[in-house]
DNA sequence: CGTCTCAGAGTGAGCGCTAACATGAGGAGC
DNA sequence: GCTCCTCATGTTAGCGCTCACTCTGAGACG
């Protein structure tokens, strides 16, 4: 509205044209506030046209080496920095990537987000994050629209729940979108962790330790991650011919794990539990402890995520680890390919998690 | 580079001017690719000048109600969305806020970031996040420069370490900056939690339970948070006339807490410990457990942060909680005030944390 | 020795918007 | 009835960049 020096706007190009080394940034020699150097200022100083400066900046081939050096020197001297808004306006493309993420600090999404921001930053892209409170259709659609307004080059949607699905279907294909942790069955670009494989590995590990069957405390049922882990658990049991006990439903919190654990702790037939994440496992651990059931003496337990603290639970937790750096890297890679090559076909990258063995698993007491 | 339809650029404004309801978005009736509607399209449809459309969009006063409605209808019909890049270019101001954050998933910074993104989104701002690997001068300076290139309206620096300090001093005052978790003694805009008060409350609580003194496992010494907690702990001891034992240095991890706990567990005179965060406390808990020292029977323990899992540690952890939503809200508030009012003087908002009592504290055994 | 080619530049238009100024109609004030 | 002001709107000129041209001179080629 009223930033200082706004009145000086039509001034510019005052002073002798060849005055060397003047333009620092915001205050001229006379102490007057002036604008930041633009491409034409660089051009004038280097004795070329603004278009040549543009060519140097964008690495175009047909520029003589000597000219290139002269321009670079001028850029350096003026401390020139290109105006991204102008470039975006002129090209219709930006160096901005949009992310739609759930408004939570859950370990998975938070780790993924951090890893993606880091990877994108390293690749020279900015990341604009839009948090959504509930992952329903209108919220996600609004967040996507918001990003499109900014002319982002591409969008990443961290949409771990089923309710987000329909919103994704509505996104016009004019802007590249990659979904992370979304519906593995959808026909778009998707990167996710093989939840089913991870859950199978955990369940098999417990069966192989000698347990007749494995109980499962699941995450919220509308999360794909949770559903995939249930599927893997069930499949491992079925393949081994073991009885499939009822799922104990929960959310992702230690509180829910504790409540589930209180139930399971009173059932003597429960000797092995696979929890859908480490925080649930922590709650279960405490419930077992309170009921005097030792882990792994009486009950074996496996979690999922390998949060950094899992190794310091009592006892240290056997769990399943996904490599979020890898997921983020793949996501970025896929998105950039879609941006530059205009690819639009369905692509799926499903990364395998690994079992991390610690001490919360043992053979069942006889 | 070669997006489809780039060649059709100089086309546009084909077709009968008054053809109603045509302009969906990207494909005209003939199936040809065309550009998204711009302000002039809206103006033509509404029978006004583009400037009037601009006035309606920006809520200027001098527009007749009837005209306003006509313009709004045209906007609706065309599905018009303003081009932010153009607006940014024209005004030199954007609706983008830049955040510089450490590349970690530590509970504090991660929670703060999420809360800030949420708050900013609610206020109609986008948030561009730049992660920095190490919080040293060049890294932070580069991140800030990156944001300035994008013409962000303001910048938030989450700079919890001392080494970040000098970088902050270099930032020109042309762009509003608010520091979070930074040096409480610096003369800029700052929002932070009163670490010292929180640590004092924890330490006093242990003293009041009857412990002769309190031992401290600290965070990394270059973090302001850690330093503040050490100060508060020391001050509470001194004010109570208690002996001040040596600080056990650590980082923020459960692993470091475990190592520190192994030391403390062998010292019978240690009956009360204040850990600089909950994850350290978790590690200490396990070390105590392994050595057969019960918490709170033999040793009382308090953490800091109140991570959601702390209530499910064994035993449930007494800790200190900061309200990150409040911190984020204050930060946004402060930043927006600086952006709109051009305020530049030093401002400090220091928010008080609260003690959350659970069961890890008891009177010392006699 | 004239013509063609092509690297290495420059010129002008326009991306979609806002800011400043211009215009014109209607009413208040004398 | 005239001036002067106010409200509602239009006109014009950029913001700083890229794109599609045009222009120039030197070498290749017949």
Distance CA B25, CA B35 (A): 7
Please write the tens of the pLDDT for every residue from B232-276: 999 999 999 999 999 999 999 999 999 999 999 999 999 999 999
Please write the tens of the pLDDT for every residue from A181-213: 988 888 789 999 999 999 999 999 999 999 999
Please write the tens of the pLDDT for every residue from A123-176: 989 999 999 998 888 899 889 988 988 889 999 999 888 888 778 877 777 789
CB contact under 8 A, A130 and B121: yes
CB contact under 8 A, A130 and B146: no
Tokens of A131: 């948090």
Per-residue pLDDT for A27 more than 80? Answer: no
The domain spans of chain B are: 23-82, 92-192+325-348, 195-322
In window 21-60 of B, residues with CB < 7 A from nucleic chain D are: 47-52, 55
Per-residue pLDDT for B2 more than 90? Answer: no
CATH number, domain B23-82: 1.10.260.40
- Is the CATH number 3.40.50.2300 carried by domain A94-191+324-348? yes
CB contact under 8 A, A255 and B145: no
> Which residues of A are less than 8 Å from B150 in CB distance?
84-85, 96, 126
What architecture does CATH give domain B92-192+325-348? 3-Layer(aba) Sandwich (3.40)
pLDDT value at residue A250? 97
DSSP B183-238: -TTSSSEEEEE-HHHHHHHHHHHHHHTT-S--EEEE--TTBHHHHHHHHHHHHHHH
Which of these CATH numbers, 3.30.460.80, 1.10.260.40, 3.40.50.1000, 3.40.1710.10, describes A22-82?
1.10.260.40
What is the length of chain B?
366
> Which residues of A are less than 8 Å from B292 in CB distance?
none
Mean of pLDDT values over B33-58 = 90
| Closest C-alpha among B229, B224, B193, B194 to residue B214 | B229
pLDDT value at residue A183? 85
CA distances in angstroms from B193 to A155, B140, B218, B278, listed in the order given: 34, 22, 17, 16
CB neighbours of residue B87 within 10 Å = 18
pLDDT value at residue B34? 61
pLDDT value at residue B88? 93
Per-residue pLDDT for A28 more than 50? Answer: no
Per-residue pLDDT for A25 more than 60? Answer: no
- pTM exceeds 0.75: yes
Tokens of A192: 């996710």
Per-residue pLDDT for B295 more than 70? Answer: yes
Residue A82 in contact with partner chain B when CB distance is under 8 A = yes
CA angle B174-B176-B180, nearest 5°? Answer: 140
Would you place residue A12 in the very low, low, confident or very high pLDDT band (cuts 50, 70, 90)? very low
- Which chain A residue is nearest to residue B289, measuring alpha carbons? A314
Top-confidence residue, A195 or A92: A195
Mean of pLDDT values over B331-340 = 93
Residue A341 in contact with partner chain B when CB distance is under 8 A = no
| Closest C-alpha among B322, B250, B247 to residue B279 | B250
Please write the tens of the pLDDT for every residue from A324-358: 999 999 999 999 999 888 788 889 999 999 999 99
Q: What is the mean pLDDT of chain B?
A: 88
Share of chain B above pLDDT 90, in %: 74
CB neighbours of residue A230 within 10 Å = 21
CB contact under 8 A, A128 and B128: yes
pLDDT value at residue A211? 98
Work out whether the CA dihedral A315, A316, A318, A324 comes out positive or negative. positive
Let me know if the fold of A22-82 is the same as that of A94-191+324-348: no
Which of B25, B131, B171 to probe by mutation at the A interface, max A CB count within 10 Å? B131
Q: A38-42, B26-30, B347-351 — which is least confidently predicted? A: B26-30
Q: Is B209 exposed, middle or buried (0-12, 13-18, 19+ CB in 10 A)?
A: middle
Helix or strand holding residue A337 (H, E):
helix A324-341
Q: Which nucleotide is nearest to B83 (CA to C1')?
A: C16
Would you place residue B19 in the very low, low, confident or very high pLDDT band (cuts 50, 70, 90)? very low
Distance CA A207, CA A364 (A): 10
Per-residue pLDDT for A26 more than 90? Answer: no
CA distances in angstroms from B96 to A114, A345, B146, listed in the order given: 19, 32, 13
Mean of pLDDT values over A297-302 = 97
Would you place residue B341 in the very low, low, confident or very high pLDDT band (cuts 50, 70, 90)? confident
Residue B151 in contact with partner chain A when CB distance is under 8 A = yes
Given B89, B174, B289, which is nearest A85 (Cβ)?
B89
Top-confidence residue, A15 or B204: B204
Q: Which fold has domain A195-322?
A: Rossmann fold (3.40.50)
What number of CA atoms fall less than 13 Å from residue A244's CA on the CB side?
13
């Amino acid at each position: 509205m009223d930033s200082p020096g706004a009145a000086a706007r039509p001034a510019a190009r005052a002073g002798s044209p060849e005055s060397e080394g003047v333009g620092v940034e915001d205050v001229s020699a006379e102490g007057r506030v002036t604008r930041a150097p633009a491409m034409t200022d660089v051009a004038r100083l280097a004795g070329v046209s603004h278009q040549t400066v543009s060519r140097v900046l964008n690495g175009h081939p047909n520029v003589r080496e000597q000219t290139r050096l002269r321009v670079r020197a001028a850029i350096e001297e003026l401390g020139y920095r290109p105006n991204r808004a102008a470039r975006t306006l002129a090209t219709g493309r930006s160096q901005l990537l949009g992310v739609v993420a759930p408004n939570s600090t859950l370990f998975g999404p938070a780790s993924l987000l951090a890893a993606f921001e880091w990877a994108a930053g390293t690749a020279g892209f900015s990341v604009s994050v839009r948090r959504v409170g509930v992952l329903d259709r209108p919220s996600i659609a609004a967040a996507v629209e918001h990003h499109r307004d900014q002319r982002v080059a591409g969008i990443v949607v961290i949409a771990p729940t089923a309710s987000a699905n329909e919103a994704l279907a509505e996104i016009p294909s004019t802007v590249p979108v990659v979904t992370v942790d979304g519906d593995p069955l959808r026909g778009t670009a998707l990167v996710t962790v093989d939840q089913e494989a991870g859950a199978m590995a955990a369940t098999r590990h417990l069966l192989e330790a000698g347990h007749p069957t494995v109980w499962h405390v699941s995450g919220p049922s509308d999360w794909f991650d949770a559903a995939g882990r249930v599927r893997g658990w069930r499949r491992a049991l079925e393949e081994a011919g073991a009885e499939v006990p009822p799922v104990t439903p929960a959310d992702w919190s230690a509180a829910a794990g504790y409540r589930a654990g209180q139930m399971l702790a009173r059932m003597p037939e429960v000797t092995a539990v696979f929890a859908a994440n480490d925080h649930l496992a922590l709650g279960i651990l405490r419930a077992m402890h309170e009921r005097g059931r030792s882990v792994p003496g009486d009950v074996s337990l496996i979690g999922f995520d390998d949060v950094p603290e899992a190794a310091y639970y009592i006892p240290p937790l056997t769990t399943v680890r996904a490599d979020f750096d890898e997921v983020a890297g793949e996501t970025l890679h896929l998105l950039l390919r879609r941006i530059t090559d205009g690819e639009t076909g369905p692509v799926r990258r499903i990364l395998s998690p690994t079992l991390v063995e610690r001490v919360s698993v043992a053979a069942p007491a006889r």
